[in-house]
Amino acid sequence: MSPTQLRVGIIGASARSGWAQVSHVPAIQALDGVTLAAVATRREESAREAAAAFGAPAWYSDPLAMIQDSSIDVVTVAVNVPDHRDLVLAALDAGKAVYCEAPLGSSPAETQMLAAAAQRSGHGVIGLQGRLNPSVRRAAQIIAEGGIGRPLNARVVSTTSAWGPATASAYEYFEKKDSGASLLTITAGHTLDIIEALLGEITEADARTEILWPHPRLLDTDGQTSREVPDHAEILAKTSMDTAVSASIVGGVPPEQGDFQLTLRGTDGWLSLTGGSMYGVQGGDLTLTSSAVFDAPDKPAAPAASAGPELNVAELYARLAQDVETGSRTAPDFTHALHNTRLVAAVSEAAESGQRWASSVR
């Protein structure tokens, strides 16, 4: 690793659209000690365009070639979920630290295999960045220190503009069950992770899911597709703190109405987290209010970053840089990703079977 800069190469950095453009690139640009060293896409034209747009000194039309570049410390995998496996394995085999977007794999079995590979090879961190939001961290501290007494029950509404009545053909794979990219694995996965960051592991869950728009329109082709995955979910859960949680995971809201609301009631008070974005709770800042007296949340790792998608992503890069430098393990890793994937699978099974899921570890 560079002694002064953590050098990142992003696979899937398009200058025209995509999650990397709105989150990873501005997060890296706003951080001290982290630099964008290279970008990779599948086509030379788009790779050149991305490098010019983002100020990256190197570009690759072959992601595997970028992975082998000795000047790259961290490989960020920000491509479609079905393509994660081979790229993550190649980066781990090359001895790189890997930052992979969530979900890690397209199935629990694939996620387990990737988690095992990371344990053998080195750093693997997962893009469950919402738990690192400064307001979430302060809320967790209030709860842990008994600021609102014993946490009794939480009500959560978590929305996204995805999985609505219309989409584009480039995102049609989100509608297919075998892709591993769905409202449950993405929006619910991020939401459940924040709940666990605050209230401990989820130990029981009942769920119901619905497909409210079974045939979304494809806006760019004027066609339509078939939705195989839920676009709405209701989850009733219990955590290791014996806190009852009800969560509504809502797809297809208008972009300007994307939000997140969590209200927690305790024996001696309450707290609330509000905010979110059209991308889901992971893609925006949150505001903390509480009946308890508390210190303001810590300043963001990248104070110059906006309150958009880059804010929480920058928190994860800052943790990764610290971990690589010191050997610590503060960023959510691939073992954490496996836990989240298994939890989402359990919630999905509860919805399909109508049977309550209970963890074997109580």
Q: What is the pLDDT of residues 30-40, one digit of tens each?
A: 999 999 999 99
Euclidean distance between CA atoms 283 and 305, whole angstroms: 13
Could you tell me the CA-to-CA distances from 15 to 2, 9, 48, 92, 362 in Å, in that order? 26, 15, 9, 26, 47
| Residue 362's pLDDT band (cuts 50, 70, 90) | low
pLDDT at site 120: 84
| Residue 16's pLDDT band (cuts 50, 70, 90) | confident
Q: What is the pLDDT of residues 127-172, one digit of tens each?
A: 999 999 999 999 999 999 999 999 999 999 999 999 999 999 989 9
The answer to whether residues 102 and 126 touch, using CB atoms and an 8 Å cutoff, is yes
Euclidean distance between CA atoms 361 and 349, whole angstroms: 18
pLDDT reading at 174 higher than 50: yes
Please confirm whether the linkage preceding 303 is cis (ω < 30° from 0).
no
Euclidean distance between CA atoms 128 and 111, whole angstroms: 14
Structure tokens at 52: 């010019």
pLDDT reading at 3 higher than 60: no
The answer to whether residues 56 and 37 touch, using CB atoms and an 8 Å cutoff, is yes
Q: What is the pLDDT of residues 310-359, one digit of tens each?
A: 999 999 999 999 998 888 999 999 999 999 999 999 999 999 999 999 99
If one counts every other C-beta atom within 10 angstroms of the C-beta of residue 220, the result is 11
What pTM did the predictor assign?
0.96
At 40 the three-state DSSP class reads strand
The amino acid that residue 289 corresponds to is: T
Helix or strand (DSSP H, E) at 266: strand 260-266
Structure tokens at 352: 């399909």
Euclidean distance between CA atoms 19 and 32, whole angstroms: 21
Positive or negative: CA dihedral 92, 191, 33, 326: negative
Greatest pairwise CA separation for the chain in angstroms: 60
pLDDT reading at 1 higher than 50: no
**DSSP per position, 53-95:** HHT-SEEESSHHHHHT-TT-SEEEE-S-GGGHHHHHHHHHHTT
Mean pLDDT of 45-60: 96
The better pLDDT of the pair 112, 14 is held by: 112
Q: Identify the bridge partners of residue 237 per DSSP, sorted by sequence position.
A: 205, 245
Could you tell me the CA-to-CA distances from 347 to 194, 208, 338 in Å, in that order? 16, 9, 14
